[in-house]
Amino acid sequence: MATSAVPAAIDALISILRAAPALGDVEVIDGPPTDDMAAADIVTVGWQPDSAESAQLSQTFAYAGARRRDEEFVILGYLESWTGDDSFQPRRARAFELLALIEDAIRASNSNPEAPTLDGTVLWAEFQAGSLRQSFTDQGAKAGIAWTVAGRARI
């Protein structure tokens, strides 16, 4: 019996995002970046800047007898867009475009009917929240969004 559905949910989310045609030119990273984030657009799953957390979870008994548990979870992620220019507007617009692509990738569709269950690893999952971060660096303007996907599983 699994102790948590979170590891499988993270793996499925990464797989879904990497397979999404609309994210084909975006680097999807499992956990924190290990080298210079030189790609113009990146999406990380299980990592946000300035956070030591990758996911959060809580469990309760599903019903009497304590044989099954319900698990609520949140997976943290981050996306970023930069091109070396000095204008925030196009970077911000691209960051929110990437966020929409993430949200679309985990919604049910004819081509991916199991996306809201993260390919059957959980009962449901959905985009939950985001936080825009803008900064100007020696590499130009960049916009990022710290985001979360929430879900529920029975284990």
Q: Report the interhelical angle of 6-19 vs 88-105 (nearest 10°).
A: 120
Domain that holds residue 109: 6-33+40-154
Is residue 148 within 8 A of residue 133, CB to CB? The reply is no
Identify the DSSP state of 115: G
* In a domain? residue 59: yes
Looking at the structure of the chain, the number of domains it has is: 1
Cβ atoms of 98 and 146 within 8 Å: the answer is no
Given this model, what pLDDT does residue 75 score? 98
Cα–Cα distance for residue pair 71/34, rounded to 1 Å = 30
The one-digit pLDDT tens for each residue of the chain (155 residues) are 578 999 999 999 999 999 999 999 999 999 998 876 666 899 999 999 988 999 999 998 887 666 788 999 999 999 999 888 889 999 999 999 999 999 999 987 777 777 799 999 999 999 999 999 999 988 889 999 999 999 999 99
Distance CA 63, CA 16 (A): 31
CATH number at residue 135: 3.30.70
> How much is the pLDDT for 139?
81
Q: Which two tokens stand for residue 109?
A: 């569709």
Quick check: is 1 in a domain?
no
As a whole number of angstroms, the distance between CA 12 and CA 49 comes to: 22
- What is the sign of the dihedral through the CA atoms of 38, 44, 47 and 51? positive
Please indicate, yes or no, if residue 77 is contained in any of the structural domains.
yes
